[in-house]
Amino acid sequence: MHFSDLSNETYAALVGNKVRSSLTILGIVIGIGSVIAMISIGQGAQESVEDSIESIGSNLLMVYPGASRTTGMRGVSQGAGSAETLTTEDADAVSSSIQGISGVAPEVSTRVQIVANGNNTNTSVVGVTDTYADVRNITLDTGSFITASQTKGYAKVAVLGPTTRDDLFGENTDAIGQKIRMNGVIFTVIGILTEEGGTGFGSADDRILIPLSTEQQYITGSKAINTLYIKVAEDADMDTVQSNVTDVLMKTHNIADGGTADFTVYNQADIVETASSVTGTFTLLLGAVAGISLLVGGIGIMNMMLTTVTERTREIGLRKALGAKNKEITFQFLAEAVALTTIGGVIGIIFGWGTSTIIGAVSDLSTSVTLSPILLAFGVSATIGIIFGWYPARKASRLSPIEALRYE
């Protein structure tokens, strides 16, 4: 039997039962398509989490008040405001006594009701210093950033995030020079931040930056800061700087060696790692759900092949009478199963790819189609085709020609 005969026979058999072939292919399409779409969503989530963490700034160390409770994310999510052990003096101590640092940016943040232009909004007001823009990779759309002298002089100036500007003054209006009121204090808008998009850590567009001293004086009423960002000059120095920071802060806080620190130092790698492992689990979970539908598709193939074998028993008998060997019957049925999974696989890849592109375009989820889930889905479907097609094919080939011919 030539390969061309095998493919002709397969084609004729599949086209001869269009409806059933299409439904079986549909099962595989859904299985493979959902594997690819789900994994692309998971990987997209993973990448966007990693991106937004990286957008915090490269080579960044973060110091939070309070002792470390668990690792990673937990500290990040509840670090701010949970204790008042970190102050502006700590920031000064770090920047004056440690080598290898290119910038130190203390931050205090609290939610405040803001009134301007007859509009009301409630958002985060973040007290920062002039170094903040460099350390946190922040750029301005218009106007200027908070200067060192403004921080020193308790200036009542504010830099708005684009969303806050839109909320208070209307979309894309020029708000420079406008007045806003927070806690009864009037601030002048001096700059608007560039839109960052996304909802990741610290990249929100809806916030207001004011001088740290002003925030401590008029809004929080305390010397405490929520976070101390430290930008390390060289990648290679991260670990050294991290331990130096710990040592200096232990000393300024008068904590003896071996005592429990009342602050926690994280580096960016820790956070990326933790976040990635969380989204990795998420991807795996989505993949498992999709894998189940792939399995269901495979069982659909087996079901179709078994029905086909039963329905075509007489045909099998005839082919054997005409000289077909067992192997040739096996190949024929196997080829049908493999063809079904291959067609379903190709359409499924296109479908999954399309779905994930559409999801990425119309929703907030970002998606990322990579080669490995495509290979995985295709490999799995090919395996399913062979395994689930093999059993019915064997069954067909083992029929005795006369029993098969007699079959009604």
Binding site for another protein (CB under 8 A): 1-2, 4-5, 9, 12, 16, 314-315, 317-328, 400-402, 405
State how far the Cα of 169 lies from the Cα of 188, in Å rounded to an integer.
13
Are the C-beta atoms of residues 192 and 139 closer than 8 Å to each other? Answer: no
As measured in angstroms, the least distance from the Cβ of 394 to another protein is 14
- Residue of 206, 273, 217, 283 whose CA lies nearest to 35: 283
Where helices occur in 55-191 by DSSP H, the ranges are 73-79, 88-97, 132-135, 148-152, 162-169
Nearer to another protein, 288 or 321 (CB): 321
As measured in angstroms, the least distance from the Cβ of 315 to another protein is 7
As measured in angstroms, the least distance from the Cβ of 306 to another protein is 20
As measured in angstroms, the least distance from the Cβ of 11 to another protein is 12
As measured in angstroms, the least distance from the Cβ of 8 to another protein is 8
State how far the Cα of 66 lies from the Cα of 194, in Å rounded to an integer.
32
Contacts of 150 (CB under 8 A, 6+ apart): 130, 157, 211
DSSP three-state, residue 106: strand
Nearer to another protein, 100 or 401 (CB): 401
Nearer to another protein, 67 or 318 (CB): 318
Nearer to another protein, 192 or 396 (CB): 396
As measured in angstroms, the least distance from the Cβ of 336 to another protein is 15
CA angle 277, 280, 286 (to 5 degrees): 150
| Residue with tokens 């493999």, as numbered in its chain | 338
Contacts of 93 (CB under 8 A, 6+ apart): 248, 249, 252
Nearer to another protein, 20 or 253 (CB): 20
Nearer to another protein, 12 or 256 (CB): 12
As measured in angstroms, the least distance from the Cβ of 402 to another protein is 5
| Residue with tokens 């580096």, as numbered in its chain | 267
Residue 118 Cα distances to 114, 176, 181, 189, 205, angstroms: 10, 17, 10, 16, 21
Nearer to another protein, 73 or 405 (CB): 405
As measured in angstroms, the least distance from the Cβ of 305 to another protein is 18
Nearer to another protein, 218 or 407 (CB): 407
| Burial of residue 403 (number of CB atoms within 10 Å: 0-12, 13-18, 19+) | exposed
As measured in angstroms, the least distance from the Cβ of 309 to another protein is 16
State how far the Cα of 216 lies from the Cα of 76, in Å rounded to an integer.
22
Contacts of 142 (CB under 8 A, 6+ apart): 174, 176, 191, 192
Nearer to another protein, 321 or 375 (CB): 321
Name the pairing type of β-strands 119-128 and 207-211.
parallel
Beta bridge partners of 114: 121, 182
As measured in angstroms, the least distance from the Cβ of 14 to another protein is 12
Nearer to another protein, 264 or 308 (CB): 308
Name the pairing type of β-strands 157-160 and 207-211.
antiparallel
As measured in angstroms, the least distance from the Cβ of 303 to another protein is 21
Return the structure tokens found at 344: 């379903």
Nearer to another protein, 198 or 401 (CB): 401
State how far the Cα of 394 lies from the Cα of 196, in Å rounded to an integer.
60
- Residue of 334, 309, 343 whose CA lies nearest to 386: 334
CA angle 273, 275, 281 (to 5 degrees): 100
